[in-house]
Amino acid sequence: MEDLIDRISAALRESASVKEEMARDPELLAAVARAGEMVVRSLRSGGKLVLFGNGGSAADAQHIACELVGRYMIEREALPAIALTTNTSCLTAIGNDYSFDEVFARQVRALVRPGDVAVGISTSGRSRNVILGMRAARELGAGTIGLTGAGGGELCSVSDVCIRVPSKLTPRIQEAHIAIGHIISEIVEVELFGGEAGGVP
């Protein structure tokens, strides 16, 4: 029991200290602000948000998409966002007929239009399908935001804005990614609707 308590406490402190470091890093704060502005600009001019990643990052992509399609903290109109991780027919057919590397790029070519924003999420920054999805989005004239870890990997080289969480541990990086997703959702609601957090009954 004592061992478990120590383990739990260490994980929570580790997670908190990654976020503390982020809160004091001017470069990272500016990157999140730029990402928020890019999303707001796109939504204002009729664009949409397209998100993708693998495993826990697939869950993050879906979660963040739904903050816009549903609501985050205030009551307002629905906003256009889609995660490319939810259509199992597409994922299995593209994976089977082409390759798993193509599962996001093919959907990007079908759905992304100039002025949209693609958000690629990869803790290692090296997932091939995420890199190819981002490249396809760039070729189509979309803005690209990469969410990754300390390494940054190739993902940063295909991202207009690259947000690197200062950790090399996948779960700690994911925990920070979802915090950033929430912050960007807040920026969208404040900038587009003048909403303040805490408004949902």
- Binding-site members for substrate are 54-56, 67, 96-97, 122-124, 127, 174
Q: List residues forming the annotated binding site for Zn(2+).
A: 63, 67, 174, 182
Degrees, nearest 5: CA angle 179-14-182:
5
State the sign of the Cα–Cα–Cα–Cα dihedral 134, 122, 20, 74. positive
Binding mask 103-122 for ligand I22 (x = CB under 6 A): -------------------x
What's the token pair of residue 200?
């949902």
Contact 123, 136 (CB under 8 A): no
C-alpha to C-alpha distance for 133 and 104, rounded to whole angstroms: 5
Which is closer to ligand I22, CB of 95 or CB of 199?
95
199 is a site residue for Zn ion (CB under 5 A):
no
List the single partner that 166 binds among ligand I22, Zn ion, none, CB under 5 to 8 Å by kind: none
C-alpha to C-alpha distance for 78 and 94, rounded to whole angstroms: 29
Contact 115, 141 (CB under 8 A): yes
Ranges within 52-71 binding Zn ion (CB under 5 A) = 56
57 is a site residue for ligand I22 (CB under 6 A):
yes
167 is a site residue for ligand I22 (CB under 6 A):
no
What's the token pair of residue 86?
């939810």
Which is closer to ligand I22, CB of 111 or CB of 169?
169
- Could you say which of 113, 171, 196, 200 contacts ligand I22 (CB under 6 A)? 171
Interface residues toward ligand I22, by CB under 6 A: 54-57, 122-124, 127, 130, 170-171, 174
